[in-house]
A and B are shown apart, each in its own frame.
Chain A
Amino acid sequence: MKLNKNYIQTLIFLAVYLFGVYFWAQPYLERKLPYGEYDAMSHFEVADYMAYNDRSFMALPDYIDLRYGNDNKFRPHTLWYPPTFHASLGVMEAIGGERVLPVFFLNTVLATLVIVSVYFVINSLFGFLPAILSAILLIFSPRDFMPYIWGQWPERFAYAFVPIILYCFYKYFTAYSKHDNKPVYLYLAALFLGVNVLIHPLVFFHSVIGLAVLYIVLAFKQKKIVFNWKHIAISGAIFLVLFFMFPYQTFNIFPQFTGGSGGNAQQSSFELSRVFQWSLNPQDYAGSVPPSYFSFSDMNGLWTLPFLLLGILFLAWRRESRDLFLLAWLISLYLILHRDLIGKSAFLHRSLSASAHIFAPLAAVGAVYAVSFIKTQSNVKTYLKYTAAAIFVYLVFSVNMAYASKIINKDTYNPNTSNGFFTALNKEEYEAAGWVLKNVPMNANLTVLGIPSQPNILDATSRKIRWFAAVAQHVTRFYDLRPDKEEILKSNDWYIMLDYTMLGPLNDRQTFESMQQFEKMNLTKHALVYNQNNIRVYKLET
């Protein structure tokens, strides 16, 4: 086999990408336990229910409906997103033969596919060097992996489609003439746009605005209007087939779009200064995302700024069609990020998470092509180009990777450290939840003692309880917070779990003794049905 240059480049990219997957997989690599915020639980629940029970479902099961029953405004008590993303996880859970690892592994692959699509598009348009530099920088983008570890899974995957949709349209537009054209690229753009809406509606709007800006920019550049009824009709049909595939879910876009602001964002009046700002005011999102999320320096590394500006300058100076492709993508993201100026501020901070997808290639183009501004011999230019690329890689690993490693590592949501002690299931709790799934009737609920429910800690431990419900596929509630404690003790519909696993590390002797007392005094008519690893489950004897 003659090793051609493209194949070597592909293998280099594969190595970079797999390192990215490893880096992002650290929170579950060793423990193989589920983790994340509420959104992560919901995505796991939907996929796992499908795969574990080997069937699709329309009405939400009780333990999911409890929280998400009204999230679908168009058709309450059904899935609030189209099932495309979750079915994909479900397929891999079925193939993987386990419940946790296949879901989390595939999710890592899906969330990092934006690295593949950015690499692919930049490699096709600008060559290997800017493409691989973009990919390396994207691996350590906190605005990408933070939402991923929190649980905004479909959104992360959906962003992988934006560059692909723009690329397909670019190929169609640039190849179009009266005598020759490649409509397959427009059909593919429509197909990916349809898939995009099935995965995440917000990102679909990114793609639509991107297409509009790209069309205008290319029309000016190439001085042609591309309009073909036949191509548009076929593309429209492809898109509509996908849009109507899951009408209960896709129609939920409309009440959501016309609804409130979403997130913590405040409806703001027009402020001229916003026009000159890329990021948003961290105070408007206090409690939702950390202030660092809005910092260019923290999220991209201040060192990328000169390269980014050089990249924009170079593209604006050269203005080839491929240059305008990147600039159009940048302009479209600017427009999306300033939709609050027309009163549409819903999930504005979520759109900010797409910044690195265009910043990384622009910075890489800046690093590689900056030398174009210097008048010197071509061999010196080549030397300078590779020197700039080497400095770029050095800075990515020394600055961005160092920063990223503090946020995403094997201690992220680790129940054995303070990082995840109150929020994530420990191994004993995970096993108990698995036992509940297999042994407790589907119509029965679970109530728990031993997991702290005091107001100061409730926000954190509520997540642990929800993870328990997700793995057990049963409604799970804090016993101490129930108003119907007496009825629960007399009911066959409630199983009572005493979780002693957290009390040792907390050195909470008082709760330990009160739980022992509770067992002796209140569970005399109950049978002990599970007693392992300091977790006990009781059911009323009939």
Chain B
Amino acid sequence: MKLKSTEFKDFAILLSVSLLIILSFSFFFFGIAGVRVALGIVLVTVPFYLILNNFELEEGEKVVFSVLLGLTILPSFAYLLGFLISFRLSMAVIFTILVIASFLIKKFRK
């Protein structure tokens, strides 16, 4: 389900406010490592949000589904690639591949 531009703006503000609350909470209780983990969760979520954004789904569905997929699919592929290259590097490579995949899906679904 595509949002209108004003709805998208509102949704972006909601996401920003939510992120700010989450980061403040993480810093207050868990310190800088907590902030990095919170940002890490956002980071692994982004590629799947971009992929799911190509399908007719509700915004809430896209957010919840992409969190669940980001915390499972991305690390699984990173583990597999981690046999060939460094685990940290494999995380970055898989992230990049997934982001590219989201744009390719968008292109081919047009």
Residues of B within 8 A of A53 (CB): 87
Task: Give min CB distance, B54 to chain A, whole Å.
Answer: 10
User: Which residues of the partner chain A approach B79 to less than 8 Å between Cβ atoms?
Assistant: 50, 56, 83-84, 87, 90
Q: Which residue of A lies closest to B84 (CB)?
A: A56
CB neighbours of B44 from chain A (8 A): 91
Instruction: Write the chain A residue with the least CB distance to B74.
Output: A91
Residue of B nearest to A25 (CB): B29
Contacts of A199 in B (CB 8 A): 72
In the complex, the chain B residue whose C-beta lies closest to that of A123 is B60
B73 within 8 A of A: yes
How long is the Cα–Cα vector from A120 to B79 in the complex, in angstroms? Answer: 30
Bound Cα distance from A96 to B44, whole angstroms: 13
Residue from B17, B26, B78 whose CB has the most chain A CB atoms within 10 Å: B78
Contacts A56-B82, A84-B76, A109-B41 hold; do A97 and B17 have CB atoms under 8 A apart? no
Which residues of B are found within 8 Å of A113, using beta-carbon distances? 67-68
Across-interface contacts of A87 in B (CB, < 8 A) = 75-76, 78-79, 82
- Residues of A within 8 Å of B76, CB to CB, are 82-84, 87, 198, 245-246
**Size of chain A's interface in residues, with CB distance under 8 A?**
59
Known contacts A87-B78, A91-B44, A105-B30; is-contact A2 B10 (Cβ 8 Å)? yes
Q: A-side binding surface: helix, strand, loop or mixed?
A: helix
Bound state CA distance, A58 and B84, in angstroms? Answer: 12
User: Is A106 close to B, CB under 8 A?
Assistant: yes
Q: Would you call B55 an interface residue if the criterion is a C-beta within 8 Å of the partner chain's C-beta atoms?
A: yes
Known contacts A11-B18, A14-B22, A109-B41; A56/B75 CB under 8 A: no
Question: Do the beta carbons of A84 and B64 come within 8 Å of each other?
Answer: no
Stretch at the interface among A187-195, A322-330, A474-482: A187-195
Distance in Å: Cβ of B84 to nearest Cβ of chain A: 9
The answer to whether residues A101 and B31 also contact, given A56-B87, A182-B56 and a CB cut-off of 8 A, is yes
Residues of chain B with a CB closer than 8 A to A541's CB:
none
- Asked whether A164 lies within 8 Å of B65 as measured between CB atoms, the reply is yes
B108 at the interface (CB under 8 A from A): no
Q: Which of A21, A58, A96, A184 sits near B56, CB closer than 8 Å?
A: A184
A192 touches B68 (CB 8 A): yes
Interface residue A29 (Cβ < 8 Å from any Cβ of B): yes
Decide yes or no whether B93 CB sits under 8 A from chain A. no
Is there an interface contact between B33 and A7, defined as CB atoms closer than 8 Å?
Answer: no
Q: Produce 1/0 per residue, B66-93, CB < 8 A to A.
A: 0111011111101110110011101100
Contacts of B71 in A (CB 8 A): 88, 110
Tell whether, in the assembled complex, residue B69 and residue A88 are in contact, meaning their CB atoms are under 8 Å apart: no
Q: Mark A11-54, 1 if CB is under 8 A from B, else 0.
A: 10011001001100100010000000000000000000011011
- A184 close to B55 (CB less than 8 A): yes
In the complex, the answer to whether B29 meets A195 with C-beta atoms within 8 Å is no
A439 within 8 A of partner (CB)? no
A54, B56: Cβ atoms closer than 8 Å = no
Interface status of B13 (Cβ within 8 A of chain A): yes
Residues of A within 8 A of B9 (CB): 1
A1–B6 alpha-carbon span in the complex (Å): 9
Q: What's the nearest-Cβ distance from chain A to residue B50, in Å?
A: 15
Once bound together, how far apart are the Cα atoms of A110 and B83, in whole Å? 25
Residues of chain A in range 123-143 having any CB-CB distance to chain B below 8 Å:
123-124
Q: In the complex, A92→B26 CA distance in Å?
A: 14
Interface: A415 (CB within 8 A): no
Contact A117/B64 with A56-B87, A105-B33, A184-B55 known, Cβ cut-off 8 Å = yes
Q: How far is the CB of A79 from chain B (nearest CB, A)?
A: 10
Judged by a CB distance under 8 angstroms, whether B103 is at the interface is no
B residues near A387, Cβ cutoff 8 Å: none
Quote the shortest CB–CB distance from B105 to chain A (angstroms): 12
CA A109 to CA B40, docked complex, whole Å: 12
8 A-B contact pairs sorted by A residue (CB < 8 Å): A14-B21, A50-B79, A83-B76, A87-B76, A87-B82, A164-B65, A195-B68, A195-B73
9 smallest beta-carbon distances between A and B, as pairs: A56-B82, A87-B75, A95-B40, A87-B79, A88-B75, A96-B33, A98-B33, A101-B33, A84-B76
Binding site for B on A (CB under 8 A): 1-2, 4, 7, 10-11, 14-15, 18, 21-22, 25, 29, 50-51, 53-56, 58, 82-85, 87-88, 90-92, 94-98, 101-102, 105-106, 109-110, 113, 116-117, 120, 123-124, 160-161, 164, 182, 184, 188, 191-192, 195, 198-199, 245-246
Which residues on B are within 8 Å of A, measured CB to CB? Answer: 9-10, 13-14, 17-18, 21-22, 25-26, 29-34, 36-37, 39-41, 43-44, 55-58, 60-61, 64-65, 67-69, 71-76, 78-80, 82-83, 86-88, 90-91
User: Known contacts A18-B21, A55-B83, A192-B65; can you find 13 more A-B pairs with CB under 8 A?
Assistant: A11-B21, A14-B22, A50-B82, A55-B86, A83-B79, A85-B72, A92-B37, A95-B36, A101-B34, A106-B37, A117-B64, A164-B64, A184-B56
